[in-house]
Amino acid sequence: MLDFNDPIITLMILPFTITIIGHGLFRFFAGEGLGHTLANGSLIIAFIITLLVFYGLPGIPIRTNTDQLLFICLISLCFGFLQDRYPNINFLSPTIHIALMILVVFWIYTNNGNFPVIRTSLFSLAYITILAITFFLKLEDIQYNELQAPVALFWVAVGLFVVARRSEIFISENLMLILISALGAYLILNFPRPKFPFGASALYPGYLIILSVSMQMVNIDPSLAFSLLLLSIIFYTENLINFLPDTYATPLIKLVMPAIPIGVAWLFT
């Protein structure tokens, strides 16, 4: 029997419910075309509301990682809504996407590390920035390919949850539970065939949540860097499956494949 007084249960049920209701509200008020286009943002709205319920309003100036994450979600959600609503606006070019990623990486670092950046940390920060941009461009490349992007983000979130739980990083564990629940609701709504496109409203904040939590986990325990790097293989699952013979490239294999890097990351944690 479910215990609704258990915060873990609430962390799963609240974002799941808000995501589903949000899709219906977008569809009802914005109409069939625009409503379907913007509805994906409801999973990030669900994340933000759950974050506010459990961690309260953010403080100014920003001091905690959850406060920072809330602002990252709000800014990237607005950016994503503009991208989905007006996809041909010039100032929303891919160059701006990359610049946004660099700014977020440095902002997360300055909230957790020393500034100005010392020489030994500069190389690590450069590697993180390159990896962050690389994975983001990969997600943009598969964004509209039969739910590949949300499925990849879902499994990476599961992997981060597993690593955070094994490492007893409870804040990261909770944040990933919220994201897993919201993404799970979105995927259920799009089963057995896609109905709501996975636009920038969900892609940008969803990826930045994972990036922020990953950087925070490495900041707490630098030894987790290798485990988290293993999880990035999930972004390339479809490419790996293409190397398999057609007889093995079944939906079941596609479903199970992300479990392999998650299991290996768990072992190395």
Domain boundaries, the chain: 7-217
Q: Where are the alpha helices (DSSP H) in the chain?
A: 7-30, 32-38, 42-55, 65-85, 94-112, 119-141, 148-167, 170-189, 200-220, 225-231, 237-241, 251-256, 259-268
Asked if 212 contacts 110 with a C-beta cutoff of 8 angstroms, the reply is no
| Residue 91: predicted pLDDT | 60
Asked if 153 contacts 206 with a C-beta cutoff of 8 angstroms, the reply is yes
| Residue 61: predicted pLDDT | 72
Residues 196-235: b if buried by 16+ CB within 10 A, e if exposed = bbbbbbbbbbbbbbbbbbbbbbbebeeebeebbebbbbbb
> How many residues would you count in the chain?
269
| Residue 153: predicted pLDDT | 95
Q: Is 195 exposed, middle or buried (0-12, 13-18, 19+ CB in 10 A)?
A: exposed
Prediction pTM value: 0.91
First to last CA, the chain: 32
| Residue 48: predicted pLDDT | 95
Low-confidence ranges of the chain (pLDDT < 50): 1
State the amino acid at position 195 in one-letter form: K
Task: Give residue-wise pLDDT tens across range 58-102.
Answer: 777 776 778 889 999 999 999 889 888 887 776 666 777 788 888
Provide the angle, in degrees to the nearest 10, between the axes of the packed helices 7-30 and 170-189: 40
